[in-house]
Amino acid sequence: MNNTPSPSPLQSSTPPPPESSKRQAFVLTPNNSTPIRTSDEIPRILQRRSTLTSAGSRIRHSRFFRNRRRLHRERAYQTHAAEAHGSHPEEEGSPVHRDEIANISPNPIDVLRAACPRVKLASDINRPHTNDGDLPVYDDLRTYLVAEADGIMQLRREIDRLVEVVKNPDKPLSFSDPLIRKEEFQVGHRKLSNVSQLLMNTIYICSLDNDGIAMEVNARLVSKQKIKKYMQSLSQDLASNSGDLAEAQNEEGRIATGNPSESDLESIYSLVDYVTAVLARLITQSAYGDYWNNNTLGVLAKWATKAKVLLQNLPAYSSIALKNMESILEGTEESETSRSKSDEEEVEDDCEEVRNEMLQESTEDTAIREYCLHQIAFRSGIEQVLKSILTSLRYLKRSGLPMTSYEVCAVVYETGFEGFKALLFQDRDYEFSTTSDLNNLNIAHSAFGILNQSLLGLEQRRREFPDAPPAPGASLRTTVEWTYSEEENQSQGPVGYSHQQGTDRHKLQLSNMEDIISVMVPLAATSPYLLATLNSFKDMIYLQGNVEDVVRPYAESKFDAFFRMFTNEFGDDSSHIDAQHVLRLSRAVNNGLFSRNTLIEATNNQKATAEKKLTALWEGLAEEMGEWIYEENSVIVNCAVYVWVVIFMAASLVAGGLAIGFTVNTRLKGVDPFNITTYAWVLAAFVVLICKSMVVENWCWRDFLLRRVRCRCVSELRAVTGISDQLIMAKLLHDESRTNLTTRGPYNAVFQRKSQDGSGFSIDRPMSTRTMLLSGLTLLKVVTPTGHALVCLDGRRGTDHQVVVHRKLDGEEHLVCEDITRSRLQTVGQTSQLLRLPLQKSKKLKWRKVQGVYNELDAVFV
């Protein structure tokens, strides 16, 4: 293999593209020099001469970021001034209305300045002088024989492309490449998987190059474990491809070995453009602010620029990156010490320690370290998001199904009460993940909106330019089904369950690989893992930024989503999945398994009740249960009606006894009528005692007179309120994360906060499958060495992210039922007895495969 890198097209000295008259011209200048304006010359009288050049040089350098912030403050002032002429300015830090997405308009010059502080622009002539040229260059192309001026020129084209995508949020995004469009499905999916691996390698190379810069500044800023992992992956690819390089004669083989042809290279560039376009739109719609937009777009544009250079000779450039990192690691091995904590935790602590050190210093090295921390923060988040997208495009063979047999499904459904939602996701490898964190779902709103736009664009294009019908012998077909709705008016009721009832459902058959990629990329962006990563990334940038760096969330609004992309081969190959008591996610949604109404129907025996009546009943129950007061060991319920009825009955007996005593008087000879009054009073006291003891075990007089009752178990709460015990437990699970209620047995395995002294609220009723689904707990059936087991995918209120994958071999704790086969055998022949399945938390259970969503609705968990 020839390790000598071939000359890059970017190395040729090509003239820059013509710029519009409004664009600011720029030239690269040496360090500490004045930028030159190419259009005109500044009059000498207006030129400012520097004095005392040696004084305060370190201070100027250490204040590099503060000088940059002044520019942001000027723009912020202009923005606030403009708002003053209109409506009242918003409170600082408050969420931004989603209508502002249409007004996102980043300045390409600001994005370029954020991406390349070394570049001198014509507009920088009035900026305070800084030694920007001494700052390290991230995503540097000079290592790969690309001149700095040529790299900047290519970077500007990438920035202009991404800015144009962001400035037009209503324009549907679609993948376009004539070569990919002509590919047969089987070949196209295989080529897409190989290309995704190549792009993953470019991420590894960029990460290694950038970590090398940080290690030279301070080795504590990077993760040694991540570096070794990336180096091992690149080395393995080089070793595997070197043997196949001579045999790779066709185009598919050349792509797999990292040596694509010129035509394939253009197709890969098109995929880079589409992936970065989708992420640019999603990222800028995840948070608001110029600081956020400029830096994230700059990092994305720099990766796209460098990836296109690396793809021209990926094996040779991989060798260069590996050799450079090996030489850097050799210099740091001597100072490496043993670490007791995990590598990621240690790096996080070290970065915080470095920040604290910089607060006490003001030197040239401090400015460089601050700049490195700034670059590491932005690149770490973008890197994880890119890896998530590219991983979803690869064929990883985890499900055991062929490459063209898959189903990707995402559904947003209401869990619990008060309109809270959860996102459930089934990926291409038939692994399941979920999130119910409100911030993650707020970003998911933007992701699903982008996906819906792309599908509507494809649907519109299909109506205008219908494709030729598939050939009679074509065996592979890819179809997309979806429903999407959003509602800005928060005062109205829930958006609805259109994705569960099949109303207003769109269906589109994808006729070529171009359309498949157009859907597959934005659909991958709705993964709970990606959404949680992006949300954590946003929070990290906000906390690390300065006070004037604006990073504000968008306001939450209601939306409903169901998207399903599948091939006909998946239905043929997975016919065993939809066997008894096991469903794929899409079929579970279509059967109404995740609908709140199924639980109300089951608990009220109203199978044919209209949806509007069920919704009204649900809202009434939610309002009634919303008045409950939680204590550590009990739930306080207002029962004024019940208390007044009891008091009225007792008062009637007392008043009747008195009336008898005064009215009968001496009419009955030998009978004292006031004895009847005494008996009536005793009967009244007996009625009060009986009524107090009928609903709860211990009802103190103070609570009785205050017209409230403390319920200490589910049975008492049901007796007091008349609400089904399953709905009560669903409410307790929903509110558990924000109350101090502790629980005790015998059926409290699902609850997280358990009493240690046995004095908590008693869960004395078993929980049904419907209740767990309503609470956000999805039961998945898995294959174990001893048979079958159930694993709970926990999507309860506030869950950031959880996943259930094939081949669980680690020690992560899950709520499981270890053996459902034996439990089922115990109830054979007992038609009147429900299937009782024991639940417990376990780290020991191992499984090899996830079969699907458990559908035994009549089971109860003990």
What is the DSSP track for 326-370? HHHHHHHSTT----SS-HHHHHHHHHHHHHHHHHT--SHHHHHHH
Non-local (6+) Cβ contacts of 434 within 8 A are 422, 423, 424, 425, 528, 776, 778, 793, 794, 795, 799, 801, 802, 803
What does the block give as tokens for 858? Answer: 């009549």
The residue that leads in pLDDT, 256 or 434, is 434
CA distance 87 to 565: 44
Going by pLDDT thresholds of 50, 70 and 90, the confidence category of residue 286 is very high
pTM of the model: 0.83
- Residue 18 predicted with pLDDT over 60: no
Q: Which of 27-31, 696-700, 779-783 has the lowest mean pLDDT?
A: 27-31
DSSP letters, 123-172, are GGGGSPP--GGGS--TT-SGGGT--HHHHHHHHHHHHHHHHHHHH-TTSP
CA distance 586 to 482: 11
Going by pLDDT thresholds of 50, 70 and 90, the confidence category of residue 333 is low
Which residues are bridge partners to 860 per DSSP? 768, 836
Q: What is the DSSP letter of 375?
A: H
Determine contact, residues 167/331, Cβ cutoff 8 Å: no
How far are the Cα atoms of 145, 410, 831 from residue 827, in angstroms, in the given order?
73, 35, 8
- Residue 811 predicted with pLDDT over 80: no
Give the whole-number percent of the chain exceeding pLDDT 90. 45
Which residues are bridge partners to 273 per DSSP? none
CA distance 534 to 385: 7
Give the whole-number percent of the chain exceeding pLDDT 70. 75
- Residue 134 predicted with pLDDT over 80: no
Going by pLDDT thresholds of 50, 70 and 90, the confidence category of residue 75 is very low
DSSP letters, 438-504, are HHHHHHHHHHHHHHHHHHHHHHHHHHHSPPPPPPTT----EEEEEEEEEE--TTS-----HHHHTTT
Which of 512, 222, 194, 200 shows the shortest CA–CA distance to 372? 222
Q: What is the pLDDT of residue 62?
A: 38
> What values do phi and psi take at 697, rounded to 5?
-75, -40
What does the block give as tokens for 693? Answer: 């003891």
How far are the Cα atoms of 272, 311, 472, 743 from residue 307, in angstroms, in the given order?
8, 6, 40, 54
H/E segment holding residue 217: helix 185-217
What does the block give as tokens for 771? Answer: 């209740």
How far are the Cα atoms of 281, 484, 686 from residue 488, in angstroms, in the given order?
21, 14, 56
Which residue blocks in 762-819 are alpha helix, DSSP H?
Answer: 769-774
Going by pLDDT thresholds of 50, 70 and 90, the confidence category of residue 49 is very low
By three-state DSSP, how is residue 768 classified? strand
Going by pLDDT thresholds of 50, 70 and 90, the confidence category of residue 862 is confident
Going by pLDDT thresholds of 50, 70 and 90, the confidence category of residue 808 is confident
Q: What is the pLDDT of residue 48?
A: 38
Highest-scoring range by mean pLDDT, 49-53, 81-85, 282-286, 812-816: 282-286
Determine contact, residues 594/771, Cβ cutoff 8 Å: no
Residue appearing with tokens 């991420």: 203
Going by pLDDT thresholds of 50, 70 and 90, the confidence category of residue 515 is very high
Q: What is the pLDDT of residue 87?
A: 46
What does the block give as tokens for 344? Answer: 């990621």
Q: Which of 53-67, 108-122, 283-297, 695-709 has the lowest mean pLDDT?
A: 53-67
Mean pLDDT, the chain, whole residue set: 80
A 10 A CB-CB count for 315 gives 20
Q: What is the pLDDT of residue 614?
A: 74
pLDDT tens, residue by residue, 369-412: 888 888 999 999 999 999 999 999 999 888 888 899 999 999 99
Q: How many residues does the structure list for the chain?
A: 862
Q: What is the pLDDT of residue 420?
A: 86
Non-local (6+) Cβ contacts of 500 within 8 A are 413, 562, 589, 590, 592, 594, 595
Q: What is the pLDDT of residue 679?
A: 86
What angle, 0 to 180 degrees and rounded to 10, lies between the N-to-C axes of helices 185-217 and 290-310? 110
The residue that leads in pLDDT, 594 or 520, is 520
Q: What is the pLDDT of residue 243?
A: 56
pLDDT tens, residue by residue, 675-711: 788 888 899 999 999 998 888 988 999 999 999 999 9
pLDDT tens, residue by residue, 742-764: 999 889 889 988 988 888 999 99
Determine contact, residues 549/289, Cβ cutoff 8 Å: yes
CA distance 718 to 607: 22
> What values do phi and psi take at 860, rounded to 5?
-125, 150
- Residue 5 predicted with pLDDT over 90: no
The residue that leads in pLDDT, 808 or 622, is 622
For 414-425, letters b (16+ CB in 10 Å) and e give bbbbeebbbbbb
Cis peptide before 89 (omega within 30 of 0): no
By three-state DSSP, how is residue 648 classified? helix
Determine contact, residues 316/585, Cβ cutoff 8 Å: no
What does the block give as tokens for 523? Answer: 């659909």
The residue that leads in pLDDT, 238 or 490, is 238
Residue appearing with tokens 């080529």: 191
Q: Which of 158-162, 459-463, 569-573, 827-831 has the lowest mean pLDDT?
A: 827-831
- Residue 120 predicted with pLDDT over 70: no
The residue that leads in pLDDT, 330 or 249, is 330
CA distance 207 to 380: 9
Which of 163, 389, 193, 168 shows the shortest CA–CA distance to 275? 389
What value does the mean pLDDT take over residues 600-622? 68
Going by pLDDT thresholds of 50, 70 and 90, the confidence category of residue 224 is confident
- Residue 424 predicted with pLDDT over 50: yes
Q: What is the pLDDT of residue 29?
A: 40
What value does the mean pLDDT take over residues 840-847? 89
What does the block give as tokens for 251? Answer: 């185009």
The distance from CA 331 to its chain's CA centroid, rounded to whole angstroms, is: 39
Q: What is the pLDDT of residue 383?
A: 96
- Residue 127 predicted with pLDDT over 70: no
